[in-house]
Amino acid sequence: MQETIDMHGQLMIRLTDRDGRLVEEQSQRNLIVKTGRDLVAKLFAGVSGGTPPTRVTHMAVGDDPTPPADSQQALVKERAPRKPIAAVSYSEFDEATAGGTVRRVKATLKTVFDFAEANNPAVPLQEAGVFNAAAGGVMYNRVVFKPVTKTEAFQLTLLWDITF
């Protein structure tokens, strides 16, 4: 049996009101960009010189709908300070492949942009990414989604599943 690793991710976006009611929910697959694949390779095997990379720690949102591209190293139009990843959980599942069944591992990352964060009623959010720093750093992935209007009336929760 020959196995290939097909890392992929999917973002679940949840917008809730002040009473905790779900107002909007959407899910969108992301693109793991070249810098993200490079980050995983260096975390796995190390580097022969220079500063070793660090794990992903933050999520960012932005308001540009430009489709994701492999060469992108940042969001096109990032908005608000990045938020630390608040929780990480791991799970396993079986995936049927042409050669049999493979046991996959999924990491779920969660962060919340609270009521007073990332607001602009005139310009909807349309992009997000995962990074290994509060500013700068390496972008692991990028996704573009249907416009989400974020105001002080709503809390935005990002749940990002990355499957290995």
For residue 121, give the 3-state DSSP assignment: coil
pLDDT at 3 over 80: no
- In angstroms, the CA 27 to CA 38 distance is 25
Average pLDDT over residues 43-67: 95
- In angstroms, the CA 48 to CA 58 distance is 26
Q: What is the pLDDT of residues 80-94, one digit of tens each?
A: 899 999 999 999 999
| Phi (first) and psi of residue 147, to 5 degrees | -55, 135
Mean pLDDT for the chain? 95
pLDDT at 2 over 80: no
CA 12 vs. chain centroid, Å, equals 9
pLDDT of residue 93: 94
- In angstroms, the CA 48 to CA 50 distance is 7
The pTM is what? 0.93
Percent of the chain with pLDDT over 70: 97
- In angstroms, the CA 147 to CA 39 distance is 29
Grade residue 39 by pLDDT with cuts at 50, 70 and 90.
very high
Angle at 106 (CA atoms; ends 59, 20), nearest 5 degrees = 55
pLDDT of residue 4: 66
Widest pairwise Cα distance in the chain:
53
Q: What is the pLDDT of residues 116-127, one digit of tens each?
A: 999 999 999 999
Residues 113, 150: contact at Cβ < 8 Å? yes
pLDDT at 14 over 90: yes
CB-side exposure of 12: number of CA atoms within 13 Å?
11
Residues 107, 8: contact at Cβ < 8 Å? no
